[in-house]
Amino acid sequence: GKSVLTIGVDVLPNLPKDATDRNRTSPFAFTGNKFEFRMLGSTVSIGCPNMILNTIVADVLCKYADRLEKAKNFDYELEHLIRHAYRDHKRIVFNGDGYTEGWVKEAEKRGLLNLATTADCMPLYKKEENIKLFEKYGVLSRMEVCSRCEIQMENYNKQQHIEALTMEDMIQKQIFPAMCSYMKMLSEEISLKKQIGAEISYEVEETLLKKLSSLSVKLFHELEALKKAVSGEQKITDVEKLCRYCADVLLVQMEKTRAVADQIEPLVGKTYWPYPCYGDLLFSVN
């Protein structure tokens, strides 16, 4: 059977340990005797999230301590505190797979905040209640909160701009030439088969050529739209508005452009495609 979780509180019943590996299904996993915060981006320093989480925990523990220190009956007050805390916040507890679309819908039903982009998150950094929390514990001043928020938005804007320019470069200098070379080979193959005789089928080559020709036009139009989105950044001087633009316009157009390139990749011969595929990245690393 399941082993029992030792929590050191006599008034609470014995709780069985969860046998599943929550590291794989929860971005904020409780693993036996601790929480593991697993939502950090791969390029992000742990310093800022840790600072914020520790400040939040300190504030909650401070409120708990104030309540328990004034209690006439400590055990009774502790039991009620735990019960009320769970009752008030149980909507955040989810034991399913937190990485599925099902949890997104369930979280919405529970009224939980879902901030999908950096542009959604950053304005909340400067929310008055958050600034007061940092100031209360001497973690950050109002000016320090605002400056950190602005710096992070600037970094986000620059990163999106660089990635958009990189995408333009990859398509223009690598993907289009690769497609043209492959389509040229298909065209020559079709012509050769036609010369040999009517009994030689060129249906496969012709079908591929038509698909790639159509997708190349589509990719060209998406690339032009991406260039227009990049040039649109120059008209925006406010860092917060630019952050919103990058999330709502630039990033969306990058995703549309990539979607077309993703359709093209499996149709082009491996020797023609200029970039390693996922299989190469996963299984061919020496």
Cα(49)–Cα(56) distance, integer angstroms: 11
List, for residues 39-69, the tens digit of each pLDDT value.
Answer: 887 888 889 889 999 999 999 999 999 999 9
Tokens of 87: 């009752």
Q: List phi, psi (to 5°) of 98.
A: -75, 0
What pLDDT shows up at residue 226? 98
Question: CA 77, 80, 82 angle in degrees (round to 5)?
Answer: 110
Q: List phi, psi (to 5°) of 245.
A: -65, -45
What pLDDT shows up at residue 236? 97
The yes/no answer on whether domain 156-283 falls in CATH 1.20.120.1560 is yes
* Residue ranges, the chain, pLDDT below 70: 1-2, 5-9, 11-12, 17-21, 23, 285-286
| Nearest by Cα to 15 from 28, 26, 2 | 2
Q: Give the SS3 label for residue 16.
A: strand
Instruction: List all residues 6 or more positions away from 227 whose beta carbon is below 8 Å from its beta carbon.
Output: 168
Cα(24)–Cα(38) distance, integer angstroms: 10
Q: Give the SS3 label for residue 240.
A: helix
What pLDDT shows up at residue 89? 94
Q: Nearest 10 degrees: CA dihedral of 49, 50, 52, 54?
A: 160
Q: Please state the domain extents for the chain.
A: 4-39+71-114, 156-283
Cα(126)–Cα(140) distance, integer angstroms: 12
Q: List phi, psi (to 5°) of 276.
A: -70, 140
The upper half-sphere exposure of residue 104, i.e. CA atoms within 13 Å in the direction of its Cβ, equals 6
Q: What is the DSSP string of 37-80?
A: E----TTS-SHHHHHHHHHHHHHHHHHHHHHHHT-SSHHHHHHH
